Structure 1
Amino acid sequence: MFELRLLCPEERVEIVSDALMALQALSVSVEDADADTAAEQALFGEPGMPVDREGWQRSRVAALFGTEDAAREAAALLGLQDFFAGCSVQSVQPVAEQDWVRLTQSQFAPVEITPDFWIVPSWHELSAQATRSIRLDPGMAFGTGTHPTTRMCLRWIAQRPAGRLGRVLDYGCGSGILAIGAAKFGALDIDAVDIDPAAVQATLDNAQANGVQLNAGLPERAQGLYGTVLANILATPLKVLAPLLCAHVAAGGHLVLAGILERQAEELQQAYAPWLQLGVADSDDGWILMTAQRAAA
């Protein structure tokens, strides 16, 4: 495996990346050439939101090729193109052989939610102190327990009195981790829904692997009232979904929202004010958990 490294101005990143893929690059990545210096630029904002630009003012473009000849041929062909003006070839160098499976697995360690509740990938031993656990491997759907928003939701679930979750809706379930967590803490009637069929399948597979029962499907599967409504998405879709999510909260039930940055608390409170009064229940690394409870009948 050989890596071709290029230096490109912002306006050339997209066309050069496309050309590299057309030249049979195995992968193409882009990073700030000025990272970790005073000239470093912030390009990405809230996760999941579109970015304003395709690259940094000085972008380092790296492409992997199967052979050195292929990498050098790609560099030579790019150098002949008009659109390569302003770009330069930095290097062609071999990439050390690695056990990519082991390397990937090493990035995912067990995650402590509470001292006795852990998220554990299948290749790790269960902690001796864990009385409850979710076995979950990284996959196509969001939710492995490593992100602060997921940890806060699971921590909230773990802190509920036994049997008090009631009927549960996990809206935007991703991997199904929150629904599975609810099942681990005694919920018996659980609906997990997502707009992505791959997430629905991941939820079903992960539930089976953890020996829990739940229902999973597209959003229309969510029907009626729930004692607990969980939604770990992002602030913008959460605002749009406010009337729908609130309509599913039963009398005395709880609404639990995550995917919200600290600076977005007030706008979420305003969006939900016609139906429920949100408050900040937890915070972790710049993210917050917001909850509300509907008055009992």
Structure 2
Amino acid sequence: MYELSLMCPEDGVETLSDAFDALDALSVSVEDADAQTDAEQALFGEPGMPPPKEGWQRSRITALFAEKGLAEQALVLLQAQDFFANCSVLGISELAEQDWVRLTQSQFAPVEITPSFWIVPTWHEPPTKAEQVIRLDPGLAFGTGTHPTTRMCLRWVAAHPNPTRVLDYGCGSGILAIAAAKFGAQDVVGVDIDTAAVQSTVDNARANDVVLSAGLPDLVAGQYKVVLANILATPLKVLAPLLCSYVQSGGHLVMAGILERQEQELVQAYAPYCNLTVADREDGWILMTAIL
């Protein structure tokens, strides 16, 4: 395999990427050429906020080709185009053969939720002190236990075992629903607007030998002792009356995906229905709960 790397200004990234695609590149990646320098600029905003920029000022574009000759031919063709005028060539280099599966797996280690509760990828052995384990591999849906919002929700679930009915609204990978089942919930439902997430929840539940129901939001029926929602602040505000209506009297509403600076926004949005308070904090994120 050979990599052809180019430097490109912000306004040429899309055109150059399309050109690589037309030249049958095996893959194309775009990186901030000024990353880790004083010239680095933010491209993505905080959750719920629009991006401050549409693209980096300078981008490093790398295309992968099966043979060196194909990379050289692609470069010759690109240099003849008008849109290449402001681009520069960084070089063509051979890509060393690697075990990409093993390399990817090495980046995901077991995640400690509590000293006795761990999230463990299938290629790892559980830690000896783990009494409760969820087997979960990285996939298409959000929720592997590595993000602070997921960890906070999981800690809450572990501290409140044996509920009767649990609803995981926006279930993603199904990790919260699976945790609820592992910690004794009698009836667990996970719903998501993404069909891939629903399938991921079904698959992960089967892999962890737990019984739960998963589907689109119309699967929700009745009220629940615990309603979990690890989404983001903006949809949580919109969903306030709906989520609260799903919580039975004396039940718990547990929400994450909220930045510390968004605390008062959520308190005000839920004030007509319940008294939200902060139950946990981690890395600038908060877990908010209420008893209805």
TM range (shorter): over 0.9
1:71 — aligned with what?
Answer: 71
Q: Quote how far apart the aligned CAs of 1:75 are.
A: 1.6
The one-letter code sitting in structure 1 at the alignment partner of 2:184 is: G
Kindly provide the CA deviation profile for residues 153-178 of structure 1, in whole angstroms up to 9, marking residues without a partner as x. Answer: 00010111x42x23100011111000
Quote the offset at 1:47 in angstroms: 4.5
C-alpha separation in 2, matches of 1:16 and 1:217: 41
Q: Give the alignment of 1:246-265 within 5 angstroms.
A: 246-265=244-263
- C-alpha distance in 1, partners of 2:52/2:5? 24
Amino acid at match of 1:143: G
| In 2: Cα distance, 1:254 partner to 1:125 partner | 34
Map of 1:293 onto structure 2: 291
Task: Determine the structure 1 residue equivalent to 2:204.
Answer: 206
Partner residue in 1 for 2:136: 136
One-letter code of the match for 1:283?
Answer: R
Q: Does residue 1:171 correspond to 2:192, yes or no?
A: no
Q: Residue 190 of structure 1 corresponds to which residue in structure 2?
A: 188
The alignment's TM-score, normalised by the length of structure 2, stands at 0.96
Alignment match, 1:17: 17
* Aligned mates of 1:261, 1:72 — CA distance in 2: 48
Aligned to 2:149: 149
Q: Does the residue aligned with 2:167 lie in a helix, a strand or coil?
A: strand
Q: Distance in 2 between matches of 1:50 and 1:208?
A: 38
Instruction: Write the distance in 1 (CA, Å) between the matches of 2:265 and 2:254.
Output: 16
Work out whether 1:98 is the aligned partner of 2:98. yes
Cα distance per residue 1:186-244 (max 9 Å; x no partner): 00101100111111111111111111000000011011111111111111211221111
Residue type matched to 1:242 in 2?
Answer: A
Cross-structure match for 1:116:
116
1:48 shift after superposition: 7.4
Equivalent pair of 1:233/1:258 in contact (CA under 8 Å)? yes
Offset of residue 54 of structure 1 = 3.6
8 Å CA contact retained: 1:30, 1:55: no
Q: Distance in 2 between matches of 1:235 and 1:4?
A: 41
% identical aligned pairs: 70
Are the counterparts in 1 of residues 32 and 56 from structure 2 also a CA contact under 8 Å?
yes
One-letter amino acid of the structure 2 residue matched with residue 205 of structure 1: D
Taking the TM superposition and a 5 Å limit, the aligned residue runs for 1:45-84 are 45-47=45-47, 51-84=51-84
Partner residue of 2:268?
Answer: 270
1:136–1:32 Cα change, 3 Å: same
2:229 alignment partner, SS class? strand
- Decide which moves more: 214-223 or 21-30: 21-30
Q: Which of the numbers 223, 226, 229 marks the counterpart of 1:228? A: 226
What's the counterpart of residue 238 of structure 1? 236
CA contact (8 A) 2:42 2:53 kept: no
Task: Provide the secondary structure at the position in 2 that maps to 1:92.
Answer: strand
**Cα separation, 2, equivalents of 1:54 and 1:2:** 29
Gaps of 5+ in 2: none
Give secondary structure in 2 for the equivalent of 1:178: helix
Taking a change above 3 Å as real, the CA distance of residues 70 and 54 of structure 1, as seen in their structure-2 partners, is farther
The farther-off stretch of 199-208 and 12-21 is 12-21
Specify the SS of the correspondent of 1:141: coil
TM-score normalized by structure 1?
Answer: 0.95
For the residues of structure 2 that align with 1:7 and 1:86, how far apart are their CA atoms?
Answer: 9
Letter aligned with residue 90 of structure 1:
L
Moved more, 97-106 or 276-285: 276-285
Of 243-252 and 108-117, the range deviating more from structure 2? 243-252
Q: Relative to structure 1, is the Cα distance of residues 124 and 49 closer, same or farther in structure 2, using a 3 angstrom cutoff? A: farther
Shift of 1:49: 6.0
User: Do the aligned residues in 1 keep the contact of 2:48 with 2:233 (CA within 8 Å)?
Assistant: no
Judge conservation of contact 2:45–2:52 (CA < 8 Å) in 1. no
